[in-house]
């Protein structure tokens, strides 16, 4: 029952405000670049594999749980790179599985500075598992058969995206559009041009970061941010992730962050009246740690504490990441100039 109520509340809130975050986003986005931007492929100069598990809003039955695995590598000619991501996002009765391939064309401009152009293509498989719902008669509070939930629904949708990514030894900046083909769905989960109840809008992502500190410094400072802007919002207010990280002995990251929720702050919150809805607000605070256990293996953990109205129903969001790099040259890790900050 809780799972059904939660799913319906989210669906109703997102449909009413038309501001739902359409793709799962991660607090540890700075370690998961390929998921945000296809032009990121090959930027680590090795075969780079990354996995992240996100358990959002712990304690809420039916809350989102997301797994993402990505791998990318430059080809023998460093001018080109390939990558791929798979992800599975479960929210209440809805499950979304996505697979995407990426290609990047890299241009060296001066020294270690590179500008990469990337494209991606893939698909998303949507499943609405209605038969798992437990329906209850509101008058007797007993289980009740509801034909609305007697049939599961499935849908395949293609997706293409593009991005640009510029980076050097101590900086990066990227702009991407993960969805270039918008879709609308009607009540029967069919692609529609009118009377839609759900719409896939274009989403624009801007990321940037810089590392302060000399090569020999034991501690270095790295601020970074992620801006997410989605078409179709009532007030056209983007969301932001601001992060400040300290790198110790080029192996351990300690990071704190702030996340703004924009209009999404009002879903399940106290200001659900459109007349009183917040146009912008602080959604949560984040703490992260990432460590390079060996020259190839890295692990990390992030905790997100919500400051929006939903905090009364959950106990926080957890993320765990594992990264591994294959086919590396030992010189890359013992020579300071080969240390990667992004």
Q: What is the CATH number of the domain that holds 117?
A: 2.40.160.40
pLDDT at residue 329, rounded to an integer: 56
**Residue recorded with tokens 């991606």:** 120
Tell me the average pLDDT of the chain. 80
Separation of alpha carbons 23 and 11, rounded Å: 15
Q: By the 8 A CB rule, do 167 and 113 touch?
A: yes
| Tens digit of each residue's pLDDT (9 = 90 or more) over 225-237 | 999 988 766 667 7
Res 265 pLDDT > 80: no
Mean pLDDT calculated for residue range 287-304: 94
The confidence score (pLDDT) of residue 309 equals 77
The residue segments making up the domain with residue 156 are 2-338
Mean pLDDT of 138-148: 61
Report the domain count for the chain.
1
Under 8 Å CB-to-CB from 274, ≥6 apart: which residues? 17, 234
Summarize pLDDT for 42-63 with one digit per residue, the tens: 999 899 999 999 999 888 878 8
Mean pLDDT of 100-118: 93
Place of tokens 């990390």: 300
pTM equals 0.82
Beta strands in 111-152 (DSSP E): 113-128
Of the pLDDT bands very low, low, confident and very high (cuts 50, 70, 90), residue 138 is low
The pLDDT of 120-144, averaged and rounded, is 74
Q: What is residue 334's predicted lDDT score, i.e. its pLDDT?
A: 45
Element (H, E) at 332: helix 330-334
**Rounded (to 5) percent helix, strand, coil in the chain:** 15, 50, 35
Does the pLDDT of residue 290 top 90, yes or no?
yes
pLDDT greater than 70 at residue 278: no
More confident residue, 313 or 176: 176
pLDDT bin (cut points 50, 70, 90) of residue 297 is very high
Q: Which of 49-58, 101-110, 169-178, 200-209 has the lowest mean pLDDT?
A: 200-209
Structure confidence at residue 143 (pLDDT): 62
> Any residues with CB less than 8 A from the CB of 118 and at least 6 apart, and which?
37, 38, 39, 40, 41, 102, 103, 104, 105, 162, 163, 164, 165, 176
> Among 11-20, 79-88, 287-296, which is the least confidently predicted range?
11-20
């Amino acid at each position: 029952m809780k799972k059904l109520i939660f799913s319906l509340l989210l669906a109703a809130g997102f449909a009413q405000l038309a501001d739902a975050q359409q793709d799962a986003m991660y607090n540890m986005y700075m370690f998961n670049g390929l998921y945000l931007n296809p032009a990121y492929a090959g930027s680590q100069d090795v075969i780079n594999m990354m996995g992240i598990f996100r358990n959002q809003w712990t304690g809420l039955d039916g809350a989102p749980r997301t797994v993402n695995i990505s791998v990318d590598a430059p080809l023998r000619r460093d001018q080109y790179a390939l990558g791929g991501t798979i992800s599975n996002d479960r929210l209440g009765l809805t499950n979304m599985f996505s697979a995407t391939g990426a290609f990047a064309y890299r241009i060296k401009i001066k020294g270690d500075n590179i500008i990469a152009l990337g494209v991606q293509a893939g698909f998303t498989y949507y499943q609405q598992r209605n038969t798992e719902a437990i329906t209850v008669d509101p008058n007797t509070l007993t289980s009740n058969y509801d034909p609305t939930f007697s049939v599961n629904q499935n849908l395949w949708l293609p997706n293409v995206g593009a991005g640009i990514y510029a980076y050097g030894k101590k900086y990066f900046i990227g702009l991407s559009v993960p969805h270039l083909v918008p879709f609308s769905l009607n009540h029967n989960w069919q692609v529609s041009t009118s009377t839609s109840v759900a719409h896939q809008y274009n989403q624009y992502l801007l990321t940037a970061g810089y590392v302060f500190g000399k090569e020999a410094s034991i501690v270095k400072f790295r601020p970074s941010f992620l801006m997410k802007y989605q078409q179709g919002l009532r007030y056209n207010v983007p969301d932001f992730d601001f992060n400040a990280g300290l790198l110790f002995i080029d192996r351990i990251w300690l990071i704190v962050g702030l996340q703004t929720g924009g209009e999404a702050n009002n879903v399940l919150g106290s200001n659900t009246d459109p007349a009183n809805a917040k146009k912008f607000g602080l959604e949560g605070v984040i703490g992260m740690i990432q460590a390079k256990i060996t020259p190839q293996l890295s692990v990390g953990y992030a905790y997100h504490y919500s400051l929006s109205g939903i905090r009364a129903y959950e106990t926080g969001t957890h993320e765990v990441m594992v990264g591994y790099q294959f086919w590396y040259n030992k010189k890359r890790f013992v020579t300071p100039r080969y240390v990667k900050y992004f």
